[in-house]
Structure 1
């Protein structure tokens, strides 16, 4: 496992390696005491990884609930954000509780923005499941939703407490989705 320290308005670690989903609970416990956790994920990722992350968090002493939204860019909007915020309120999440973004860039943006605005800010952790999200949207605190007028028009810079990049998840990506991440990495290299 490798660790990269990100120093922004808040310093946090990005952990990169194999098998991190199974170790998510212990890694999260090092940065926040056991509390209630809302896993935010989409209708595709929920079937692939939610149970593994839920079990790991539960074994580490966290209480877990899950918010699932329809997969795809079309869900990255104010309506889905509203549903997420209502879910967090219904679950009686507090400022000492935690959101875990489990998925690609849409999930990270939606969950991160939800964390930034719910109760004026609660902690969150990014667990990206695409290569693009791992190298781009999960790091740096960019969170947003799309408005009818355009992409990413409502958002906030809000840093995660931790980022877990499990390299095993890359094996389940469709080739075109992995290629998106490779193209972004090449763009960064050129810049």
Structure 2
């Protein structure tokens, strides 16, 4: 019985996260439709994005031509700006989480690490830091690695790493394994 209770509590967390994501309406953000828990299996329903990820395209065809790079970068930045305007940080922007529609529209997806910015009402100031380590090492900002907080600035770092990936066909610090790259970024500030 306690296992069932744990499953239902976890489902409630996912359901609340998807309810948040359902409120996001932007051309560059994948549309979330809802959740379903059946026989201890969680299903998350979202818009179908058939074009594959930026990473898949790069792996098949190499770095993106400049005109395509500019088009995709603009759309990614518009999507991230929309998220930030709505007090949401993605927390895991990377080529695998930027999907393509057949018409060339990009969609930010995989909001498993997304979080609302923490708002502090004292003295009318806001805190943009979420103090938890999320994201993928090659795209992680130094402040995330050093656990000094996560906010809009960290998403911008991840966008920059994704831009590098699209322009060169390689990951930033790809010559290092994941953990070494993470420590390097943390120690050297990127």
TM-score in terms of structure 1 length:
0.30
Between Structure 1 and Structure 2, the one with more strand by share is: 1
Q: Which has the larger radius of gyration?
A: 2
Between Structure 1 and Structure 2, the one with more helix by share is: 2
TM-score in terms of structure 2 length:
0.30
The answer to which structure, 1 or 2, has the higher relative contact order (CA under 8 A, 6+ apart) is 1
